[in-house]
Amino acid sequence: AVSLEITEVAASFTTAQAEALGIKEVVGEFTTYFPASSYHNTNLGLAAAGINNELVKPGEEFSLAKATGPRNASTGYVEGGVLVGDHIEYIVGGGVSQSATTTYNAAFFAGMTDVEHHPHTQYFSQYPPGREATVYEGVLDLKFRNDTPYGVLMEAYIVPSGPDRGSITVRVWSTKHFDSVTASEPSLYNYTDGREQVSTRPGCIAQNPSRGFDVSFQRIMVLSGQTTTEDYFWRYSPIDKITCQQPDPPAQEPDANAG
């Protein structure tokens, strides 16, 4: 027989403390969609798992980089499409920016304070103009701060794509603090056109053109009957048309032994 000594240890986070945070309802939610793609299923599934159950107490900040941890091959991420300069390349962790856009919008409508977000340099039509975010390992992050008197608990999950498109949903659970949080209709102007390129780059991915533009919109928050507005602006570069062309093989010297 083995005798074990039992020692009582006080909980670092008690039930009473949890209840005092007032996490009881969804105060912000957003869903985005992606095409049938195994790399989206993998990378967005891992990102959603990292975001899910993150607790953000009053005054604390949420960081997507901290929530997901390293996004590399050692943590299960696979190669996916990423905008690099003016073209798409496949790198490990590609596609994770969609989790940033979805989280950004859920936090936006929950009234969270925007600490850091970076829209893409070029516009992708599956996202609201200007109201989107990209991340890049070790360089660009998505952060918001909870300046409400209530705690925030994040929920995130994907519906994997199969023959049809998949989706990622992020919800912000808390207690309703604002009377309302809405976004104005975006104003799009100053359109610009890209150029046509022929690329012989190895691994070239053909690309359809899309116009660049400026976009302005507002976040309108009402608290205890008082309205506050935040102005947002972003400028998207045009997307070039890229045609892939393999270089001609080097000329062969005549074979002196032929014939």
For the cut 80, the answer to whether the pLDDT of residue 43 exceeds it is yes
- Report, as an integer, the average pLDDT of 101-114: 98
Measured in residues, the chain has a length of: 259
pLDDT band per the 50, 70, 90 thresholds, residue 258:
very low
44-62: burial string, b at 16+ Cβ within 10 Å, e else: bbbbbebbeebbbeeeeeb
Q: Identify whether the C-beta of residue 158 lies closer than 8 Å to the C-beta of residue 50.
A: no
| Alpha helix positions (H), 8-144 | 15-20, 38-51, 64-68, 97-109
Lowest mean pLDDT, pick from 126-130, 135-139, 244-248: 244-248
* Pairwise CA distance, residues 24 & 165, whole Å: 31
* Pairwise CA distance, residues 98 & 96, whole Å: 5
* Longest Cα–Cα distance in the chain: 94
Pairing state of beta strands 152-159 and 143-145?
A: unpaired
- Report, as an integer, the average pLDDT of 79-89: 65
For the cut 50, the answer to whether the pLDDT of residue 99 exceeds it is yes
Range with the largest mean pLDDT of 37-41, 45-49, 91-95, 122-126:
45-49
* Residues forming a β-bridge with 172: 28, 154
For the cut 90, the answer to whether the pLDDT of residue 203 exceeds it is no
